[in-house]
Structure 1
C-alpha cells in the first residue's frame, strides 16, 4: 500500500507535453478561436494581457539581479570588460548584417511595387534620431531608483554593472550584499518558473485576438512584405547564425538550432525579447552549456542592444514604403538606413511594438513619408513575431560564441542530443539554479 502511494501521479496528455508544444497548441487553438469569433475575439485579449503583464513584472528585477550576480561571479574585472567588448562588437556587427539582408531582399523582391500611393504630409514631423553623444549621455542614470521604476533597461544595465564591479572591489565586505543578490536572483528564477507555466494560456488569448482583429482580408494585400520579412528572418538565423557558429565558433550548428526552439517560440508569441529572457537564460545554461557568468552578463545585454530581427524589419519596411510611394533611394540612403537602424537598436527597448519607434526614425532620416508607418502598423504584430524570434536567437548565438572564446562553454552539454531531447520537461522550465560553471 505504501509503495503504491509512492508512485508518481500520471501527468496525463497535457501535463506531459513540453512547454514549446503547449505553446504551439495554444497558438493553433488561438488562431482557430480568433477565426471563428472574428472581432468578438477581443474578449479573449485580457488573458494574454495578464500574461504579458506578469512577464513585464519580471523584467526589471530579473535583469538587475542577473547582471549583478553575473558580474560578481567574475572576480576578474578585466575579463568582464573583455567579454563586454566582445558581446557589443558582435551584436552591432550582426545587426548591420541583418538590415543589409532586409534591404537586399526588398530590393530583389520589390514587395511595395505597384501600389502607387501618394503622400499627403511631410515626413519631417517625426522625432529626430538621437545623436551618438545623446545616446552615450543617456546611459548614465541621474537617479538609479527612477531608472528602475521607469524600466529604463540601458540605465539599469549600467548601474548593475557598476554595482557588481564595486561589490567585487569591496572584497570580504561586499560578500553579504552579493549573497543577498544571489538569493534575489534565485527567487526571480523561481517566480519566472511559475509565470512561464501560464504561457500557453496567455498565448492562446493573444493569438485569438490577433487572428480575430487582422484576419486574411487585411493580411492579403500586405502578404508579400510579410513573406519577405519572414524569408529574411529564416535566412539570417538558419544561414548566417549557423555559419558564424560553424566557422567562427568551430561548433556544429545543429545543437544550436535544436536548442533555440523553446525561446524562439516564446519570443514569437510574446513579441518581447526582454520578456523571453528567462527562457533564453534557461536554454543557454542548461541546453547550450554556457556558464553562469557569461549567460547572466551577455543575455540581458543582448535583450536590450541586440535587435537583429528589428533591424532586418527596418530594411524591409523602409524599402516597402519607398516602393509603395514610388521614391527612389540612392546608395547613400541605403548606408544611412543601415547606420541609423544599427544606432537606434542600442536604445530601443526589447518590448512589443518597439520596432515602430525605430522605423519612424529610419523613415525620417531618409525623408520617406510617415504615412508608411501607418501602413506597416496594420501588420506590425505579425512582423513583430518574426523579428523578436530573430533577436532572441541572436542573443543565444552571441552567448555561445563568447562562451566558446572564453573557455566557458561546456561542449559536452552543447553536443548532448540527450539534453535536447529532454528539453521542455517540467513544463519546459526548470530553475536557473542548475548552473554550468
Structure 2
C-alpha cells in the first residue's frame, strides 16, 4: 500500500515520467515471465519428477511415479482458471481471505484502498499516516528476522539432509533448475532487454551495458540493488542521461521493477509442478504468468522475498500442498539472488535510457526541478538501505558457506504436510510494500 500511497506526492511534471517508467517496467516484467515459462517447458528441469513420491513412502520407483503422474493434473480450462483469478481477487470477506492466506484478494484490496486514499486528499492523511507507521514498525521487526536467517537456513539444510533419498536424481533436477533460471537471466539481459532498448531508443545497448558494469559488479557482490543504487545513478549520469531523470527513475525502479524475480517465480512454480509429476493446462499457465507478475511487483524489498510471494502463485493454481517444497529452492537462492539482482539493476538502467530518450522528444513536458527532488517521499529510505545492505551481506556470507559445504545434500523435498518453511525473495532493499 505504501508504494501506491507515495505516488500521491507526484506533480504534473513528474506524473508523466512516472507513467512512462511504470509502463516500461510492466513491459519488461511481462517479457521476463514469458521467457521463464518458455524455458521451463523447453528444458523441463523437473522432468525426472524427484518430488513425486506417493502415499506415505518417502521414495518411489520410476514406474510408480510415472503411473501416479499420469493421473495428476491441474487441468482447469483457460476460462475457468481466469474466472477463478477473478473470484480470488474479489473475495466475499476480506478478513476471511487474509486468515485463509488468500493473498491475491488481500493484495488487490490493498491496492484499491491505496488508490482511493490517494484521491481523497487531506482528509485521508490520518489513515495514511497509520498505514505508513505500521509499515515502519513491521519493517523494523523484519530486520530482527533477517539477522536470524542464517539459523533458519542451517535448520532447513539439516532437515533436507536427514530426508535425502535419491541424491543423484535430486542433484540432477536441481542443477537443471538452477541452469534454467540462469539461462533465463542471460537471455533476458543479453537479448530481450537490449532488443527492447534498441527498438525504443535506437541506442547501442551494449555500450550502455558497459557503462553500468561497476554497478553490476557491486550488485553481484551485495545482492542488493538498493545498496547499489547510488553507484547505478552515478553510472547513469556519466552516460549523459538527464540527471533529474536518473535521480527519479532509478529509485522508483529499485522499489517496483523486478524482472529477475518475475522470471524466477514463474520458472520455479513450473519446476515444482514438473517435479511432482503435475500437468498444467494452458489456463493455469496463464494464471502463473499473471500472478507471478503481480507477486513480483508486490513482493517486499527484503532478501529472499520472492520465495514468500511465490506462495501466492502456488495458491492461485491450486498447488498449496506443495508450498513446503519451497524450502528446497532456498538452499540455492544465495547463488540465484546474485544474478537476479544484476538482472534487476540492468532493467533499471534500460528504463533510464528509454525514459531519457522519450523526455528528450518532449521538451518542456517534464519538471526538472521536481524530478531533482527524487522519487515521491518514502519510496527510498537511506536508513532502510543501510540496514538491509548489512543484513544482505551477512546473510550471503553464511549462505555461501553453507551452500559450498552442503549443497550436494540440501535438495531433498520435505513432505507435503510440513508447515510452510519459506523465507523472503529478491534481495532488493527499500520500503516494504503491503
- TM-score class normalised by the smaller sequence: 0.5 to 0.7
Q: Select which of 188, 197, 204 maps to 1:245.
A: 197
Distance (Å, rounded) in 1 between the aligned partners of 2:31 and 2:139: 27
Distance (Å, rounded) in 1 between the aligned partners of 2:137 and 2:188: 33
RMSD: 3.7
Relative to 1, partners in 2 of residues 1:366 and 1:148: Cα closer, same or farther, differing over 3 Å?
Answer: closer
Q: Which string of whole-angstrom CA distances, capped at 9 and with x for unpartnered residues, describes residues 291-312 of structure 1? A: 2211121111111110100000
Q: Select which of 338, 342, 345 maps to 1:385.
A: 338
Query: Which consecutive segments of 4 or more residues in structure 1 shift more than 3 A?
Result: 118-121, 123-127, 138-141, 147-153, 216-221
Q: Which residue of 1 aligns with 2:95?
A: none
| Aligned-residue offset at 1:344 | 2.0
Q: Select which of 85, 108, 115 maps to 1:132.
A: 108
Q: Select which of 241, 248, 263 maps to 1:312.
A: 263
Relative to 1, partners in 2 of residues 1:351 and 1:278: Cα closer, same or farther, differing over 3 Å?
Answer: farther
| Aligned-residue offset at 1:348 | 1.8
Distance (Å, rounded) in 2 between the aligned partners of 1:375 and 1:395: 30
Q: Secondary structure at the match of 1:371?
A: helix
TM-score scaled to structure 2, two decimals? Answer: 0.58
| Aligned-residue offset at 1:96 | 0.9
Q: How does 1:332-343 map to 2 (within 5 A)?
A: 332-343=283-294
| Aligned-residue offset at 1:148 | 7.5
Residue 95, structure 1, aligned to residue 95, structure 2: no
Contact 2:45 2:173 in 1 (8 A): no
| Aligned-residue offset at 1:79 | 2.9
Q: Which residue of 1 aligns with 2:247?
A: 296
| Aligned-residue offset at 1:108 | 0.6
| Aligned-residue offset at 1:255 | 1.4
Relative to 1, partners in 2 of residues 1:92 and 1:348: Cα closer, same or farther, differing over 3 Å?
Answer: same
Q: How does 1:10-89 map to 2 (within 5 A)?
A: 77-89=11-23
Distance (Å, rounded) in 2 between the aligned partners of 1:310 and 1:340: 12
Q: Which string of whole-angstrom CA distances, capped at 9 and with x for unpartnered residues, describes residues 350-406 of structure 1? A: 332111122111111112221331221221222212212111110110011001110
Q: How does 1:20-419 map to 2 (within 5 A)?
A: 77-118=11-52, 126=101, 128-129=103-104, 130-138=106-114, 141-143=128-130, 146=133, 149-150=136-137, 222-286=174-238, 288-368=239-319, 369-407=322-360
| Aligned-residue offset at 1:81 | 0.9
Structure 2 gaps, min length 5: 57-73, 75-98, 119-127, 141-149, 159-166, 363-434
| Aligned-residue offset at 1:235 | 0.5
Q: Which string of whole-angstrom CA distances, capped at 9 and with x for unpartnered residues, describes residues 11-44 of structure 1? A: xxxxxxxxxxxxxxxxxxxxxxxxxxxxxxxxxx
Contact 2:50 2:173 in 1 (8 A): no
Distance (Å, rounded) in 2 between the aligned partners of 1:225 and 1:118: 16
Q: Which residue of 2 aligns with 1:13?
A: none
Distance (Å, rounded) in 2 between the aligned partners of 1:356 and 1:390: 17
| Aligned-residue offset at 1:144 | 7.4
Contact 2:273 2:279 in 1 (8 A): yes
Relative to 1, partners in 2 of residues 1:303 and 1:337: Cα closer, same or farther, differing over 3 Å?
Answer: same
Distance (Å, rounded) in 2 between the aligned partners of 1:355 and 1:280: 22
| Aligned-residue offset at 1:278 | 1.7
Relative to 1, partners in 2 of residues 1:258 and 1:128: Cα closer, same or farther, differing over 3 Å?
Answer: same
| Aligned-residue offset at 1:131 | 3.7
Distance (Å, rounded) in 2 between the aligned partners of 1:224 and 1:395: 28
Distance (Å, rounded) in 2 between the aligned partners of 1:151 and 1:251: 43
Distance (Å, rounded) in 2 between the aligned partners of 1:374 and 1:145: 31
TM-score scaled to structure 1, two decimals? Answer: 0.57
Q: Which string of whole-angstrom CA distances, capped at 9 and with x for unpartnered residues, describes residues 31-77 of structure 1? A: xxxxxxxxxxxxxxxxxxxxxxxxxxxxx9xx9xxx99x97xxxxx4
Q: Which string of whole-angstrom CA distances, capped at 9 and with x for unpartnered residues, describes residues 101-122 of structure 1? A: 001001110001113424789x
Relative to 1, partners in 2 of residues 1:142 and 1:118: Cα closer, same or farther, differing over 3 Å?
Answer: farther
Distance (Å, rounded) in 2 between the aligned partners of 1:219 and 1:262: 34
Relative to 1, partners in 2 of residues 1:92 and 1:151: Cα closer, same or farther, differing over 3 Å?
Answer: farther
